[in-house]
Structures are given as structure tokens and as C-alpha cells.
Amino acid sequence: MSEDLNFSGKIALITGASRGIGAAVSKAYARAGAHVILMARDVKKLEEVDDEIKSEGGTATLMPADLMDLDSLDKLGPLIKERFGSLDILIGNAGLLGTLMPLPQISTTEFDRVMMVNVAANFRLIKTLDPLLRASKNGRAIFVSTGAGVVKGRAYWGTYSVSKAALESMVRVYAMEVAQTNLRVNLIDPGAVRTDMRASAVPGENPETLPAPEEIAKIFLDLGAENCTKNGQTLQA
């Protein structure tokens, strides 16, 4: 393992850790020595990821949570401080696709749900975890966006497109505000990856033609590394 990618002693929180990219990144960080806090709604799936991590000699803590329960997220910073004493890395991976359809046909309930998970929940995470990330010697916050074409606006991609544009703007604002600290904040565009969300978005696509989530995990390690100087950027996996 490269010394730059040795995360021994680091605490990393990953949202959407029960499957897909979140699970792959969680296992990659644990393999590199970090203690990973696995956050998602599906307890059974979290336990499966935890079992895999432990089978490889890694360590993890399960933190079942619903990102739509925004008020509960406000308690996360004090909870992590009390339990672990610190937090070095936040990976905001969880997201909702919503239904791909003309914008006027999207229900207000679905619009609110997607914006809540993709934008509001990440704002609450930034707000509650900022003190811990700033206190870390090399704090890192990494958020998962999507293709530039979708962020700029894509017909029928409705709330997902709107939410990722808002996420990118919010993360860049945060990156500018912490530029003079040791905290580095960036985004990742994972591209087309073999995930359930991708299958829902493009059902006619052959998933075997796409990279598996494990194949793009390294870029998350690169942005979490102590020698990372990038800030406010969107990197393509």
C-alpha cells in the first residue's frame, strides 16, 4: 500500500454505505486502515458490508439512519465526538434518483424527497460535522455528484438534475470558505457505474459493459489522502 493511502488511525463516515459505490468505498477505506462509520437505512445490507470488512481484518461501526430525518442528523456531530473523539473524512455518497419524467409531472412529494436527501441532508451533515472536520489535522469532505451534462440540466432528469446542480454549488461554496484551513472539500463524478441507480436510470443498458463500483474506489482514497491539495473541484472517476 502506498504510504499516502495509509488511513490507519483515521475515522471516515460514509453515507449510502449499504450498497453500490458507498459499500465499495467503505471497504476500500477499511482495507486502507481507516475505521469506517457505515450510514444507511438498510440494516441488513449494512451488516453484510460490515461482515466483509471484518473478514478482511478491517473495523467498522454501523450507524443506521434515514437521511430524510433531518433533525436527527443535527445530533450526529456531538454523537461522533462523544463516541470516537474525532472525524477525519466525510463521504456524502447517498442519493435518490427520483422518476425520470417531464418536470411538471413530478409530484411535489417526490421533488421534496429528492431535494431532501441529495441537498438538505448534505447541508445538515456539513453543518453538524464541520467542527470535527476542521479540528482534524487533515480533514476531508467528499461528495458524489453526477455527469456535467446532468448538472447543467437534462430533459426528463427532473429533480435529480436540479438537486445535483444545487449540491455542486453548495459544496463549492463550502470549499471556498475553508480554503485557508487544513480541510479540503471536493466532488466526484463517478460516471456510468454498475449500480442499482444506474439500472433504474438506463434500464436497457447492459450492466456488464460498465465498471463495477470497486473499480472507481481509488479516487475516493486519493481525495481523502493527507497529501491531497485539491479543493472545490469536481473530479471524474
Instruction: Quickly count: other Cβ atoms within 10 Å of residue 198's Cβ.
Output: 18
Provide the percentage of residues in the chain whose pLDDT is more than 70: 99
Q: How many domains does the chain have?
A: 1
Domain range enclosing 178:
3-236
Per the annotation, the verdict on 160 as an active-site residue is yes
46 and 16 Cβ atoms separated by less than 8 Å? no
CATH at 119: 3.40.50.720
Q: Which of these, 232, 224, 234, lies nearest to 26 by C-alpha position?
A: 224
Q: What is the pLDDT of residues 36-72, one digit of tens each?
A: 999 999 999 999 999 999 999 999 999 999 999 999 9
Q: What is the pLDDT of residues 5-34, one digit of tens each?
A: 899 999 999 999 999 999 999 999 999 999
Residue type, 142: I
Q: Which position among 29, 156, 160, 174 bears the catalytic label? A: 160
